[in-house]
């Protein structure tokens, strides 16, 4: 019997499911929004909420617990100083969580993520969803940029000739 066993199995073994959810939450931390199936989004939401709660504590122990849960590690190759700074800024999920995301939710008591349902996927008709942070506002679509040679020209006022006739 499966009484009080609420974990969504998602058709995977427990190790595969944990790794997949950790990768999904890492992508959510890095990119602020991910598109996935509805079942995976619901399963990843609980992991993300717990991770942010740990991030709000900000202690070394909570940092270790988050690193263990997300299978987070440093860069896999030796990087130069400038490359390491770039990696830390864009790829270090622990830094992003503890320095950017958790302080933004300091006053909020839960409910850090939102699930927005989308259409069904073409191949297998799986219900798709967007998992994102509640304070995330997607960037506005960029206005059509003109090419440097084809800038919109404003009519210039006619120049008066300086030569006297």
pLDDT in tens, 42-70: 999 999 999 999 999 989 999 999 999 99
pLDDT in tens, 71-111: 887 777 788 888 877 777 777 889 999 999 999 999 999 99
Q: Which CATH class is domain 14-134?
A: alpha beta
pLDDT in tens, 120-146: 999 999 999 999 999 876 677 776 655
What residue spans of 32-144 are helical by DSSP H?
A: 38-57, 60-70, 81-90, 93-96, 102-104
Q: How many angstroms separate the CA atoms of 131 and 41, rounded?
A: 6
Q: What is the CA radius of gyration of the chain?
A: 24
């Amino acid at each position: 019997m499966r009484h009080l066993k609420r974990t969504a199995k998602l058709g995977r073994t427990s190790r595969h499911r944990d790794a997949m959810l950790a990768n999904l939450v890492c992508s959510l931390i890095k990119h602020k929004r991910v598109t996935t199936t509805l079942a995976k989004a619901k399963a990843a939401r609980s992991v993300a909420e717990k991770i942010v709660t740990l991030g709000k504590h900000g202690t070394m122990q909570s940092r270790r617990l988050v690193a263990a849960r997300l299978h987070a590690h440093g860069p896999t190759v030796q990087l130069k100083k400038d490359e390491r700074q770039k990696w830390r800024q864009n790829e270090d999920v622990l830094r992003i969580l503890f320095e950017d995301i958790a302080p933004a939710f300091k006053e909020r008591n839960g409910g850090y993520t939102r699930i927005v349902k989308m259409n069904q996927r073409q191949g297998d008709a799986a219900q798709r969803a967007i998992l994102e942070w509640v304070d995330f506002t997607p960037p506005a679509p960029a206005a059509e940029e003109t090419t440097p040679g084809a800038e919109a020209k404003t009519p210039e006022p006619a120049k008066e000739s300086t030569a006297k006739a």
